[in-house]
Amino acid sequence: VKKVSKSFESKAEPVKKAAVLGAGIMGGGVAYQSASKGTPILMKDINDAALDLGLDEATKLLNKRVSRGRMDAMKMASVLNKITPTLNYGDFGSVDLVVEAVVENPNVKKAVLAEVEGELPEGAVLTSNTSTISITELATALKKPENFCGMHFFNPVHQMPLVEVIRGEKTSEEAVARTVAYAKAMGKTPIVVNDCPGFLVNRVLFPYFGGFSALVSDGANFQQIDKVMERFGWPMGPAYLLDVVGIDTAHHADAVMAEGFPDRMTHEGENAIDRMYKLERFGQKNSKGFYRYE
């Protein structure tokens, strides 16, 4: 974990207007969080149905707050007004920072990042919410890699305080400082880390999932392991957490970690994550993972 230099942090211009590319699980969450904390945000996707999903998610979260008496209807309307859904780059010329949250595919991300870079004003910061792709590698698609860094939120965005700000080889200190400032304005706890497979959190989490999968392969009962880890004091056990993360996502990240750290992260034969993946039990997203969801 690195510190962002205090002199850069104090000089970082606040983000007055942001944009998010992709209105999916993460993009919708980022839009909600930014608007809730007062920073207007453009939310771009490639079709209306996706934009509607992102807006519906934000509306659902806001309705919950209203029904619990934590927000009035006027405030809810003003938060929703701060999210501008769009299918084109119309107002991107006045944006200070962009969070790219499209599908986890390096070629799609590179194309989208190069395209949006051409729409932004001088000095705007471009970030990616990628979970597994190297920031230095994504930066090769850009004319100004110094203005680019990782901004890795966790799911669900409105509940998870941590944000990893990832410094690529060419990222400037100004870009890091501005991203840190935006994360703080969103009410999050940013940490600055270097670019490596898994960044920081997944380097801790995936060996843990690996240990869990090996125990299950050795014959242990996954429900018992979950109960034990809850008694240990963790809010949920590894099987349930994998269902929340998504088994397909975990399977992909596992492969990235194995490639990045072959001495530590490879396993012989199939583990529990591989088996669940083959059975298409992707977790909560398709209502069946280690557990069943109605």
Catalytic positions = 152
Q: Which of 124-146 are b and which e, b meaning 16 or more Cβ less than 10 Å from the residue's Cβ?
A: bbbbbbbbbbbbbebbebbebbe
Residue nearest to ligand NAD (CB): 24
User: Using CB under 6 A, which of 5, 8, 9, 25 touches ligand NAD?
Assistant: 25
| Residue 25 or 80 having the CB closest to ligand NAD | 25
Residues in binding contact with ligand NAD, number by CB under 6 A: 25
Q: Pattern 151-190, binding to ligand NAD, x per CB under 6 A?
A: --xxx-----------------------------------
197 near ligand NAD (CB under 6 A): no
| Residue 46 or 77 having the CB closest to ligand NAD | 46
88 near ligand NAD (CB under 6 A): no
Contacts of 264 (CB under 8 A, 6+ apart): 207
| Residue 30 or 181 having the CB closest to ligand NAD | 30
Burial of 53 by CB count in 10 Å (0-12 exposed, 13-18 middle, 19+ buried)? Answer: middle
Q: Pattern 231-270, binding to ligand NAD, x per CB under 6 A?
A: --------------x---x---------------------
Residues 40 to 79 in contact with ligand NAD, rule: CB under 6 A: 44-46, 50
| Residue 52 or 72 having the CB closest to ligand NAD | 52
Cα pseudo-dihedral 235, 236, 237, 240, rounded to 10: -170
Q: Pattern 117-146, binding to ligand NAD, x per CB under 6 A?
A: ------------xxx---------------
Binding region for ligand NAD (CB under 6 A) = 21-27, 44-46, 50, 101-104, 108, 112, 129-131, 153-155, 245, 249
